[in-house]
């Protein structure tokens, strides 16, 4: 188990560093690419590798870190009963979306996120739905106290709230990933919300609600209880991914989408985490919380 914890921490640290590296590259390096290219073959190779593989490494490390976390804290059956539905349902929505325009709108993926399934959807996209989705759902469940009192209302509330937290990530992510200096997808028909169709957010919320709802049904006989300190990993994952998206959007001047994401996602997530922590921790642990969790604000 100790080896798993070490592997989890290494992957989580690598995930965050890869995001920081990618953020710096897109905001600072690409706008001044000529300086890197002037370094000769080494500079050209470094830039090509980072642009071709940076997003893939980031998402794969996040997937591994959250998978190890879920395996060791929830058990392999509970982990897979979320991962499998989330990956299958999200990739189905993405394939349907890129092929027909439903449920997100008319868009297509560009390069930079790895091999494309059916030449349409990068394989990393459903992985990001999994690991950020699980983080959002666990925060919502813990904050609403589903493990202690698994009423139908609380379980439905956790699904809805988890989907809201997940969709709020996309408020900051969407303009950053589709309209900045290095876009990863492109809207064939620009929407009214900073180039994004409102339909896209309904599609995000609907897709997330479906796979979180499936997980809720599969988990109905399992309390899925986490100790307060175990929520630190989902919080770090959620905040670091939002922070990456927010950094890109703010760098491009998209203030309103980031602000909306903060109000509907980050602030509720922090409040839910704090509620779960204070309800399940000792008074001494509550006073030590600030030293336990570093708050680092960072798919179609």
pLDDT digits (tens, 9 = 90+) for 199-247: 999 999 999 999 999 999 999 888 888 888 899 999 999 999 999 999 9
Model confidence at 279: pLDDT above 50: yes
Residue 13 lies in a domain: no
Report DSSP letters for 195-227, one per residue.
BB-HHHHHHHHHHHHHHHHHHHHHTTT------
How many independent structural domains does the chain possess? 1
Residue 17 lies in a domain: no
Kindly provide the b/e burial profile for residues 33-47, where b requires at least 16 CB atoms within 10 angstroms of the residue's own CB: eeebeeeeeeeeeeb
Largest Cα separation within the chain, whole Å, is 63
Residue 53 lies in a domain: no
Residue 15 lies in a domain: no
Please give the residue range of the domain that contains residue 255. Answer: 75-292
Q: Which two tokens stand for residue 155?
A: 């379980």
Tell me what pLDDT residue 64 has.
98
Residue 30 lies in a domain: no
Residue 111 lies in a domain: yes
Residue 163 lies in a domain: yes
Residue 31 pLDDT class (50, 70, 90 cuts): low
Q: Using a pLDDT cut of 90, give the percent of the chain over it.
A: 69
Mean pLDDT of the chain: 87
């Amino acid at each position: 188990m100790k080896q798993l914890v070490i592997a989890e921490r290494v992957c989580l640290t690598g995930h965050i560093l890869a995001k920081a590296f990618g953020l710096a590259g897109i905001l600072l390096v690409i706008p001044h690419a000529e300086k890197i290219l002037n370094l000769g073959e080494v500079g050209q190779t470094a830039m090509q590798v980072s642009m071709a593989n940076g997003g893939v490494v980031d998402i794969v490390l996040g997937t591994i870190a959250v998978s190890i976390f879920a395996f060791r804290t929830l058990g392999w059956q509970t982990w897979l009963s979320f991962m499998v539905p989330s990956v299958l349902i999200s990739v189905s929505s993405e394939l349907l979306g890129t092929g027909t325009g439903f449920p997100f709108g008319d868009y297509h993926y560009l390069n930079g996120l790895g091999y494309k399934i059916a030449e349409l959807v990068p394989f990393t996209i459903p992985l990001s739905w999994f690991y950020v989705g699980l983080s959002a759902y666990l925060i919502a469940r813990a904050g609403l106290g589903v493990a202690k009192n698994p009423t139908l209302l609380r379980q439905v509330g956790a699904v809805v709230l988890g989907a809201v937290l997940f969709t709020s990530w996309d408020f900051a992510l969407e303009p950053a990933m589709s309209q900045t200096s290095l876009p990863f997808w492109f809207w064939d028909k620009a929407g009214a919300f900073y180039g994004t169709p409102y339909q896209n957010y309904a599609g995000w919320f609907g897709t997330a609600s479906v796979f979180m709802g499936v997980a809720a049904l599969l988990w109905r006989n399992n309390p899925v209880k986490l100790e307060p300190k175990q929520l630190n990993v989902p919080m770090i994952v959620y905040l670091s991914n939002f922070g990456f998206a927010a950094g890109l959007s703010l760098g491009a001047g998209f203030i309103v989408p980031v602000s909306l994401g903060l109000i509907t996602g980050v602030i509720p997530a922090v409040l839910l985490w704090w509620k779960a922590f204070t309800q399940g921790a000792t008074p001494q642990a509550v006073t030590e919380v600030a030293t336990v969790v570093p708050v680092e604000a960072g798919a179609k």
